[in-house]
Amino acid sequence: MHIDLGVIDYVIIGVYFIFVIGVGFALKKQMVSSEDFFLAGHKIPSWVTGLAFLSANLGAIEVMGMAANGAQYGIMTAHFYWLGAIPAMVFLAIFMMPFYYGSKVRSVPEYLKMRFNEPTRALNALSFAVMTILMSGINLYAMALVFQLLLKWDMNVSIFIAAGVVLAYTYLGGLTSSIYNEVLQFFLIIFGLLPISIIGLSRIGGWDGLKSHFANPALAHLWANTGTAVNPMGVDWIGLLSGLGFVLSFGYWCTDFLVIQRALAAEDLPAAQRTPLIAAFPKVFFPVLTVLPGLLAVVLIPELGSNNGTYSWNMAMPLLLAKMYPSGMLGIGLTAMLASFMSGMAGNVTAFNTVWTYDIYQSYLAKNKSDEHYLWMGHMATAFGIFVSIGTAYLAMGFPSIMDYMQLIFGFFNAPLFATFLLGMFWKKATPWAAFFGLVIGTMTAMGHYLATDHLLHYSSVMAGNFWRATYAWLACFVVTIILSFFTKPKDEKDLVGLVYGASDVVKAHVEVWYKQPVTLAAIVGLITVVANIVFW
């Protein structure tokens, strides 16, 4: 496919890069303490943290990965939203955020230290640091793919330029810079990518016209073919509900510090609880921006995903941009994609520098240093995290689907961690050492399952293997933690106050206005999600 960018397209991209770096410079003078740099001083209003909560997840995995999965698996990819996101976001807001925010922890690993012990915190901090660097590398790789396809830049040059821009604004402005740029990127993504779905459907005769072009009619159904041989994702009901709807979904949204960090930056507990709920409302409709373009790509770009290797599934979104947008509009669309990649990468980097500084460096390597010293280390960790992400970008090149790769990573790290959190927050008898060894066994189970796949275990798709791997990892951690809790010493109940249900009264946010009440918002977004599942059954 021949692709030409005009002068106006390059100007739009250049202006965007200048603007995001400018935000970092503008906020630099406000970074006077480590709390300002890592947690935005707890001064951000909920509508901003809500959009940032959403945009931090809106990286390469969602924009390119969901479009690729939409082309490969059809409308079933919407399960990642309506089954694999909204219920968990509601659960986080209503049940878990009061403990996260009320305990005044600075990170998820720090909560594990308070609830369990130092070794559990250290294990999670190290594993999370590795995971964020791997995820950051995916965003870098995806960005480089787009640069290579549309701008004809060398892959290596693209990776280093993209890394340099993210380094500039996260190094200067910390989490605050990242959050405000994520809000900007949210609107850019809406305006830059929504026309693809509108134009594509108008060309092909609407939703009914699109369905008529599918070689496999099952691509148009969310649930109807789950238990049949024509299921494009190859995942049965149990694997879908347990692997995605429960383990991977709750494991990510309820325990991943990348997104929770945005809620912790909110100005008070009600704002922190509203953060994931505000994000949930646009999240319900995001399949229009990501999954639908993938379905359009199947019809409009027949060579996509072909066995001759012309274009991989990952290229569904950028190829549609090039095919459907004229000059000027192409620049906006490309800028929207670049914004999504950088928001995803920046989110991972700011989470990494916080966990590294607070949970590893301050806890084990340099205790009792000045606040200025930890602020300095935060800057160094930012630079180091981006440098290592360059290496993991090359690692991501070895996987044909970045979405499959992401679910593999989450199966290793988030799946067992969710079992630890579930027992830690809702069962006061879970003991420190039981949690530690449960987390170890759960992670080892995921690794063992991965090594056995294709040799001893066989699945109809890579995604099916990911869902079952997550289920087994969670189950192993959950069972081992419960068993060992009966043979190891629990913490005194007075040490669990404010950390676990049953040890203290749950901190409740007092909100007078009905439309700001977390339960009301949760009920509304939940109802919309149920309707979406029924409509596309």
Residues 6+ apart with CB under 8 A from 154: 148
* pLDDT (mean) for 120-138: 86
pLDDT digits (tens, 9 = 90+) for 349-374: 777 877 888 788 888 888 888 878 87
Is residue 121 within 8 Å of residue 130, measured between CB atoms? no
Identify whether 2 is part of a domain. Answer: no
Give the number of domains in the chain: 1
CATH number of the CATH domain containing 16: 1.20.1730.10
Residues 6+ apart with CB under 8 A from 294: 66, 67, 68, 69, 70, 71, 72, 77, 316, 317
Identify whether 26 is part of a domain. Answer: yes
Question: Is pTM beyond 0.75 here?
Answer: yes
Q: Which pLDDT score is estimated for 41? A: 47
Residues 6+ apart with CB under 8 A from 97: 263, 269, 272, 273, 275, 276
Q: Which pLDDT score is estimated for 329? A: 81
Identify whether 1 is part of a domain. Answer: no
Q: Which pLDDT score is estimated for 436? A: 95
Identify whether 154 is part of a domain. Answer: yes
pLDDT greater than 60 at residue 345: yes
Identify whether 460 is part of a domain. Answer: yes
* pLDDT (mean) for 31-45: 54
Residue-range definition of the domain harbouring residue 307: 7-535
- Give the DSSP letter string of 348-372: HHHHHHHHIIIIIIIIIISTT--HH
Identify whether 411 is part of a domain. Answer: yes
Identify whether 33 is part of a domain. Answer: yes
Q: Which pLDDT score is estimated for 443? A: 93
pLDDT greater than 80 at residue 263: no
pLDDT category, 34, cuts 50, 70, 90?
low
Radius of gyration of the chain (CA): 22
* pLDDT (mean) for 35-46: 55
Q: Which pLDDT score is estimated for 207? A: 81
Identify whether 478 is part of a domain. Answer: yes
pLDDT digits (tens, 9 = 90+) for 368-415: 888 788 778 877 888 888 888 888 888 887 776 777 787 788 888 888
206 CB-contact burial (10 Å; exposed 0-12 / middle 13-18 / buried 19+): exposed
Give the separation between CA 53 and CA 56, rounded to whole angstroms: 6
* pLDDT (mean) for 49-69: 73
Is residue 112 within 8 Å of residue 417, measured between CB atoms? no
pLDDT greater than 50 at residue 480: yes
**Percent of the chain clearing pLDDT 90 (strictly above):** 9
